[in-house]
Amino acid sequence: MGGVESEKKPLVGVEGAWPVLLRLMGGLGFVLPRRRSSGHYEIAYVRLIPMVGITAAISWHFLRFEKKFTNVAYDVFMDIVLYTANVANIFYAFAVALYRRQDTCRFFGSLDGTLKPARTWVSCAAFLFFSLFVAFFLGLNYIMLDWADVSLFHWICLTLIISSLPSFLDLYLATLISAVVQMYRRLADGLSRRARPRTQLGHPSIGHPGSGFFSASIPHRPIGSHRCSSLSNVGAIVVQCEEVSELVHMFNQIFSVSVLLTSGAFLGKMMNGSYYLAFTVDQPKVFYGSIIYLVTEVSRFYLLCRQADSLKEAHSMLEDALLALHQCRDTPPEDRDSLLSQLVHLKSRPAHIAIGSVGVLGSDVLVTCVNVALTYTAIVFQYRPTEGE
């Protein structure tokens, strides 16, 4: 009975699907919209307080940062590039939260009532994970830093800038992409059920390609419960397809530059980490710390790229479902024309996560960044500066 009751739970929005992460991002000032009990989203201006506090602390730390571009040591140059890229990513995320707050409200509102609510144990596990994550990197930086020249303020700010805040931003983007993917898959599943002959209604629908960590939260239903009757005619199907396409467009409008900065920061982190990996073999603390940082960065960026790939796969599933419905024998000719027009429209505008205006996010970007970092490391190792230079 418990499983049946959980299946009947009403679908929720992003705050109900990932409550711990969204509250954490709201508490840090990266997410200003907050859902009211009425179902509407409003701007929680009280969240500007942590935003201003973190911005002031990072700005002060940035101005007091000991390393400068004028220093001769090449590893110092690598450090300042990585540090500056992370600061730019964090500050731009705050700017997006502030200046795109109304667009973010509309985006969250479009996802409201479409996602499966989080289970209690998942929320508890997420809270434990985030707590251990921050504690781990505080401890790692405590071991790696030279405390002769480091203050407590520097230690905390460096942990926030280098590891904690960028990690939370990556997870935030990945969850939003996952929510859009779920919308696509639910619509494709509903269309495939409608296209299937009556004798096959008991058979499973079009298979879902895996999407990593987030795939477990996708309910196996045609679409949201409040929209179950919206696929009764072709006009409603066209509207649903336009709605999910608009979700991708809204995401890219709000977050495409953030994805660009995240990708650039990842490349910088790969080059920085691989550089230290090549030159600190005789320094165990820095060497193993660099390995941990590299593994963490690759895992996070892979998760983000995997969600972007899942969106492309879900878009293809929707195209296949529309084609199957178009080819049904009982589909009227006028409906076939509408379905074909919508299918052509989807093929001409495939869903993707934009990297600014320069590319499309996917696993190929991850592979390219890793290859660039490895090539760079090989070149630097071959022409590494000697002592006294």
pLDDT digits (tens, 9 = 90+) for 146-158: 766 678 888 899 8
CA distance 144 to 303: 27
Domain count, the chain: 1
How high is the pLDDT of residue 199?
33
Higher pLDDT, 382 or 19: 19
How high is the pLDDT of residue 226?
38
How high is the pLDDT of residue 232?
57
Residue 388 domain flag: no
Among the residue ranges 171-185, 196-210, 240-254, 363-377, the one predicted with the least confidence is: 196-210
CA distance 214 to 182: 9
pLDDT band at 329 (very low <50, low <70, confident <90, very high): confident
First-to-last C-alpha distance (Å) of the chain: 73
Asked if residues 252 and 37 have their Cβ atoms less than 8 Å apart, the reply is: no
pLDDT band at 210 (very low <50, low <70, confident <90, very high): very low
State the Cα torsion 271-273-275-279 to the nearest 10°: 180
How high is the pLDDT of residue 211?
40
Percent of the chain with pLDDT over 90: 45
pLDDT digits (tens, 9 = 90+) for 232-248: 578 888 888 899 999 99
Which domain range does residue 292 map to? 2-382
How high is the pLDDT of residue 229?
38
**Encoding tokens for residue 48?**
């500007």
pLDDT digits (tens, 9 = 90+) for 312-322: 999 999 999 88
Among the residue ranges 269-273, 284-288, 293-297, the one predicted with the least confidence is: 284-288
How high is the pLDDT of residue 141?
84
Among the residue ranges 20-24, 94-98, 292-296, 384-388, the one predicted with the least confidence is: 384-388
How high is the pLDDT of residue 8?
61
Residue 102 domain flag: yes
Does residue 200 carry a pLDDT above 90? Answer: no
Residue 389 domain flag: no
**Encoding tokens for residue 70?**
């004028």
How high is the pLDDT of residue 209?
41
Would you say the C-alpha torsion 19, 23, 25, 31 has a positive or negative sign?
A: positive
Does residue 101 carry a pLDDT above 90? Answer: yes
Residue 220 domain flag: yes
How high is the pLDDT of residue 4?
46
pLDDT band at 288 (very low <50, low <70, confident <90, very high): confident
Q: Which of 362, 234, 270 is nearest to 310 (CA)?
A: 362
Residue 387 domain flag: no
Residue with tokens 């201003």: 52
Residue 37 domain flag: yes
Among the residue ranges 97-101, 203-207, 339-343, 346-350, the one predicted with the least confidence is: 203-207
How high is the pLDDT of residue 283?
78
pTM of the shown model: 0.85
Residue 12 domain flag: yes
pLDDT digits (tens, 9 = 90+) for 154-198: 889 989 999 899 999 999 999 999 999 999 999 988 888 876 653
Residue 143 domain flag: yes
Higher pLDDT, 287 or 266: 266
Average pLDDT estimate for 125-129: 92
How high is the pLDDT of residue 385?
55
Asked if residues 254 and 359 have their Cβ atoms less than 8 Å apart, the reply is: no
pLDDT band at 74 (very low <50, low <70, confident <90, very high): low
How high is the pLDDT of residue 53?
96
pLDDT band at 203 (very low <50, low <70, confident <90, very high): very low
Residue 328 vs residues 193, 229, 244, 332, 389: alpha-carbon distances, Å: 12, 20, 23, 9, 74
